[in-house]
A and B are shown apart, each in its own frame.
Chain A
Amino acid sequence: MDLREYSVFDIMGPVMIGPSSSHTAGAARLAKIARQIAGDDVKEVQFILYDSFANTYKGHGTDKALVAGIIGIDPDDERLSHSFELAKEQNISFSFVKSDKDASHPNTVRMVIKNKSGDVIEVLGSSIGGGNVVLKEINGMSVEFTGEYETLITKHIDKPGIIAMVTKVLSEHMINIAFMRVYRQLKGDMAIMVIESDQTIPEDVRIRIEHIDGIEKAIVVDSINKA
Chain B
Amino acid sequence: MYQFSSGFELLELTKKYNIPISEVVINYEHEMTGDSKDTLIEKMASNLDVMKKSVERGLKEDVKSVGGFIGGDAKRLYDKIINNFTISGETVSKAVASAVAVSEVNAAMGKIVAAPTAGSSGVIPGALITIARKFGKSDDELIKSLFTSSGVGIIIAKNATLSGAEGGCQAEVGSASAMAAAALVELMGGSPEEALNASSFAIMNLLGLVCDPVAGLVEVPCVTRNAIGAANALICADLALSGMRSIIPFDDVVSAMDSVGKAMPCALKETAEGGLAKTATGIKLKMNMRE
In the complex, A24→B28 CA distance in Å? 31
Q: 1/0 per position for A189-211, CB-CB distance to B under 8 A?
A: 00000000000000000000000
- The interface-forming segment of A73-81, A87-95, A136-144, A170-178 is A73-81
Chain B 73-132 residues near chain A, CB threshold 8 A: 105-119, 121, 124
By a CB distance below 8 angstroms, the chain A residues around B112 are 15-18
Q: Is the CB of B25 within 8 A of A8?
A: yes
The answer to the question of B162 belonging to the interface, with a C-beta cut-off of 8 Å to chain A, is yes
Question: Chain B 249-291 against A: per-residue CB contact (8 Å), 1 yes, 0 no?
Answer: 0000000000000000000000000000000000000000110
State A190–B29 Cα separation when bound (angstroms): 44
Q: Is the CB of A8 within 8 A of B113?
A: no
Are A78's CB and B113's CB within 8 A? no
Q: Is A118 an interface residue (CB 8 A)?
A: no
A18 & B118 in contact (Cβ 8 Å cutoff): yes
Q: Give residues of chain B (190-237) contacting chain A, Cβ–Cβ below 8 Å.
A: 215-219
Which residues of chain B have C-beta atoms less than 8 A from A60's C-beta?
66, 216-218
Q: Which A residues form the contact surface with B (CB < 8 A)? A: 1-2, 4-21, 24-25, 52, 55-56, 58-61, 64, 76, 78, 80-81, 129-131
19 further A-B pairs in the complex, CB-CB below 8 A; given A11-B116, A17-B110, A56-B289: A4-B157, A6-B157, A10-B157, A11-B150, A11-B153, A12-B149, A14-B114, A16-B111, A17-B112, A18-B218, A19-B107, A21-B118, A25-B118, A59-B217, A59-B219, A59-B289, A60-B66, A64-B109, A130-B163
B residues lining the A interface (CB < 8 Å): 5, 25, 28-29, 32-33, 40, 43-44, 46-47, 50, 65-67, 105-119, 121, 124, 146-147, 149-151, 153-154, 157-159, 162-163, 165, 179, 215-219, 289-290
